[in-house]
Every structure is written in structure tokens, then in C-alpha cells.
Amino acid sequence: MLAEGFNARLDLIATRDSEASERMRALGKFRDIWILTFDELLSSTEFPGLMSKMLKRLESVYDYPVDIEFTANFNLDGEIQVNLLQCRPFQTKENHTSTEIPANIKKNKILVRQEGNFMGGSVSKNIARVIYVDPKGYTGLRLSQKYSVARLVGKLNKTIAGRDDMPTILFGPGRWGTTTPAMGVPVTFSEINNVAAIAEIAYKEGSLIPDLSFGTHFFQDMVEMDIFYMAIYPEQEDVIFNLSLLESLPNMLEELVPGNQEFVDIVRVYDVSKKKLVLASDIVGQKMVCFFS
């Protein structure tokens, strides 16, 4: 772009890398190397104030903070001109009040407990079903099989009677809704839209790391549909993730969606409607627990 004479205003958006530029010259390549820092743009122009004013105006209209996509250019007078491309309100589920989480829950009754790493406000609800995609087993699948698992989750999603009648938690590795199967299960939102809560599990032996992309339509769909979200890091000291509490229960996969025997060890469906599994979170105290009462 620089070679073509593009007026990039490098004095505002970049810093010259002197050391790298000298190395290039030593190699007979006479061109400067720049690092994009935006230092001067942020410190000596009206850009930060302009963006702050825009965001505050949008927040007042939507009644929520907003996420935006924009372009910034310089007009003929050298002034910054911002074009707003997209605007999405950030919202939270249910309420911001405190929920009282039961004290002294026995450790052998806790399925998940952690501080932070969840989104969805303060909730307290009984869970009827758990769908679990095993991270280790999923990682070992061929690419085509990973897509098959995503479609299978979609079929299970259709068997959920309703979010209120059959509150369901969906556990799985990495990033739900990713387009890269190596990073998570590549479902579409319509394949998980009936669940009440979704959990992303970090898997230490692979690249399956939770990373909810807050600016995406997938995220916005979760917000609009009141789906509770949690990211689980089992290796962290303050996190309890006791899957053995579910493993003693029968896997309902073949009963609900026959003909998927090859995935019976990877995709597991547990009926906990009579087990009194409770999901409770306190957004004020940033505590979340899922336990058998």
C-alpha cells in the first residue's frame, strides 16, 4: 500500500521500527518497517473524544452499552470521518440482583462450581437434561465425523420439549458455533437454540479453549434467546468439574436419536429430571454452581 503512494497517515497510526529498517537496509532492501500502534491517533487527535461521544449517544438510544463496527478515514481537510457500519447492544439475561447460593453444599454433590467465567445474570433453575460432548473423544475424530457430531447435536436439540419444560445444559469442548472443527463443535445457532445453558470446556491436550466471540451474531442470538453461558477450565484450582456424577447414569443417545452408535461414547445424554440438578448463579458475587440438591 505504501509503495503505491497510499496516504496512510503513518505519523498518526504507526511507529517506525528503526532496528528492523536497518536490518532490511543491510540486506539491500531499502524500505522502512512500521509497527501499527495508533499512538498519535489516540493521544493527539479528536478521535477518542469523537468515538466516546458516538458510543454514549448510541447507548442512550439503545438503553445498553453497544458494540460497533466502523471505518475511520481522513477527509480532504485532514479531519477524521467515521462511518458506522454495525451497531449491536450488549445485554444481559434476567437481572442484576444477587441470588443466594446455598452454603455448605457437599463437594460430592457438585457437578460444576467456579467464580466468574459465566454470562447470563443471576439465575436459579432446575435442570432436566444434560447433553455432553466428550472433549478427548471429539478431538480424536476425523473432520467429517466432527461435522456429524454437530448435526447430531442439532437432532438432540429438536428433542427438547421446551426451554421451560425441559431445561437442558449443553457441555462441549472449545468453542460452540465455530467454523473450525478443530477448535470446537461447528453447530449453527438453530442446532442449539432450545438449550437453557451452554458450557464450553477447555481441553488441555488440544487447542480447544473457550473463547466466546462477543461481537458475533452467534453471541447476540444467545443473548436474545436467554441462553446462560459458562466457560469451564477444569485444571484451575478453584474450579470443580465432577463429571463422574453423570457417568453412572444411562446414556439416552440411541433412545432419542437411533442409528448413532459410533458416537455413543462421545455424545452422551443424561436425564436428570428426577435427580434435582440445580443451576444457580450470583452475578453480583460472581459465583456459579450446578449441583444435585
Average pLDDT over residues 216-228: 75
Can you tell me the distance from the alpha carbon of 46 to that of 178, in angstroms, rounded to the nearest whole number? Answer: 37
pLDDT of 102: 85
Can you tell me the distance from the alpha carbon of 230 to that of 210, in angstroms, rounded to the nearest whole number? Answer: 9
Grid look-up 453461558 returns 229
Q: Which residues on adjacent β-strands are paired with residue 68?
A: 87
Q: Which of 124, 133, 156 has the alpha carbon at shortest distance from 232?
A: 133
Q: With cut-offs at 50, 70 and 90, classify the pLDDT of residue 202.
A: confident
Task: State in Å, rounded, how far the first CA of the chain is from the last one.
Answer: 63
* Per-residue pLDDT tens over the stretch 263-273: 999 999 999 99
**3-state secondary structure (DSSP) of residue 11:** helix
* Per-residue pLDDT tens over the stretch 224-242: 788 899 889 888 889 999 9
Residue 163 and residue 124 in contact, taking contact as beta carbons nearer than 8 Å = no
Q: Which of 131, 105, 65 has the alpha carbon at shortest distance from 288?
A: 105
Phi, psi (degrees; rounded to nearest 5) at 25: -65, -40
User: What whole-number percentage of the chain has pLDDT above 70?
Assistant: 91
152-186 core/surface letters (b: 16 or more CB in 10 A; e: else): bbbebbebbeebeebbbbbbbbbbbbbeebebbbb
Can you tell me the distance from the alpha carbon of 242 to that of 292, in angstroms, rounded to the nearest whole number? Answer: 11
Can you tell me the distance from the alpha carbon of 241 to that of 85, in angstroms, rounded to the nearest whole number? Answer: 41
Q: With cut-offs at 50, 70 and 90, classify the pLDDT of residue 110.
A: very high
Can you tell me the distance from the alpha carbon of 200 to that of 118, in angstroms, rounded to the nearest whole number? Answer: 10
Average pLDDT over residues 157-186: 91
Residue 141 and residue 178 in contact, taking contact as beta carbons nearer than 8 Å = no
Mean pLDDT over each residue of the chain, to the nearest integer: 87
H runs (alpha helix) in 27-159: 39-44, 47-62, 135-139, 143-158
Does the pLDDT value for residue 5 go beyond 90?
A: no
Q: With cut-offs at 50, 70 and 90, classify the pLDDT of residue 162.
A: confident
Average pLDDT over residues 5-21: 82
Average pLDDT over residues 48-62: 94
Which residues have CB under 8 Å from 31's CB, separation 6+?
2, 3, 21, 24
User: What whole-number percentage of the chain has pLDDT above 90?
Assistant: 53
pTM over 0.75: no
Residue 133 and residue 238 in contact, taking contact as beta carbons nearer than 8 Å = no
Q: Which amino acid is at 162?
A: G
